[in-house]
Copies of this chain bind each other. A is one copy, B any other.
Amino acid sequence: MEQCSRCKTTEKPLFRLKITGRLICPSCFIKYYEKKVKNTVLKYGMLKDVRKLALAVSGGKDSLALARVFLEAFPKIKFTIIHLNLGIPNYSDECQGVVERFCRENSIELILYDLKNRNGYSIYDFVDGPFSKRLCGVCGIVKRYLMNKIAFENGFDTLATGHNLDDTVEVLFNLYINGRIDEVARIRPVLSSVNPRIVKKIKPLIEMTDEEDLYYVISRKIDYASSECPLVKGSRMIKRKKLILKIEEEIPHFKYLLLKTHIKRFLPILEEYVPPPSLRECEKCGMPSVDLICSFCKLSSRIERLVESN
């Protein structure tokens, strides 16, 4: 009879962990998951010198797992949740609702930012036209910029995101095979602040898989936005994640191996080789930028013109 490999209970549901093939019950899984995240956080010194912490929470399984594991594993550390409403129909409002409920139920301060209200356009405005083929890239630029800006303007010095192992390896794989060394060097568990207007970023879930985050929110009975972003369908990111799972069928622990090799073998070399980006103030928004105008402002002015002309 099937039983939990830890406590031997035969009560359902039992999850089968892909990484070991073992069965585990929800309460043992919770202990396993929280201990593992705690280890990651301590191993990389993610909470060292943190003064004021914010969590970027989208309402999906990963970021809600992040918020909950922080409540459980680091009960003394206070944090605020920042949520961006990206204005994607039949999706963004569900996400916002989930986050609002989570914050209410757990008495967490919430900073809400509505892209359409504040900036006059939403991610949905990029669907047709010149950006239609790279929506995930556009959305990434918007989220990275705004999350940092909101955190900075509200006095946070550290921003935690829910990027997990699958997300990280998908990006790493692509950057390595294309030899994008400068970007490879920026993929880290902790990205220190290189400018007063850039807050430190930490990725406490960087060693957790998509599967583990999902089992955790199920085990903890956390209400999360279970529908996938409707714009992500058929994206390169989704295809690449599938390819990586296929590789892992042939090379056990491929994802963890790639992350470990990256952090232990390549990062120390690349850190010496890749100079920190030389930053100036964006002429439009004043935030740090490599170019005269930052990529967010470039994107914004193009989409504002498109929205106006429609």
- CB-CB < 8 A to A176: which residues of B? 176, 261
**Which parts of A107-134 form the interface with B (CB within 8 Å)?**
none
For the complex, give the distance between the alpha carbons of A282 and B29 in Å: 54
We find that the number of chain A residues with CB closer than 8 angstroms to chain B is 25
Interface residue A251 (Cβ < 8 Å from any Cβ of B) = yes
Interface residue A275 (Cβ < 8 Å from any Cβ of B) = no
A residues with a Cβ closer than 8 A to B are: 176-179, 181, 239-240, 243, 246-247, 250-251, 254, 257-258, 260-262, 264-266, 269-270, 272-273
Contact in complex: A250, B261 (CB < 8 Å)? no
- CB-CB < 8 A to A254: which residues of B? 177
Contact in complex: A251, B177 (CB < 8 Å)? yes
Identify whether the interface residues of A are mostly helix, strand, loop, or mixed: helix
With A247-B247, A250-B243 given, is the CB distance from A265 to B177 under 8 Å? no
- CB-CB < 8 A to A261: which residues of B? 176-179
A172 to chain B, nearest CB (A): 10
11 contacts between A and B (CB under 8 A): A176-B176, A176-B261, A177-B251, A177-B254, A179-B260, A179-B264, A179-B266, A181-B265, A243-B247, A269-B269, A269-B273
Contact in complex: B257, A177 (CB < 8 Å)? yes
**CB nearest neighbor in B for A243:** B250
For the complex, give the distance between the alpha carbons of A273 and B273 in Å: 9
- CB-CB < 8 A to A247: which residues of B? 243, 247
For the complex, give the distance between the alpha carbons of A258 and B176 in Å: 8
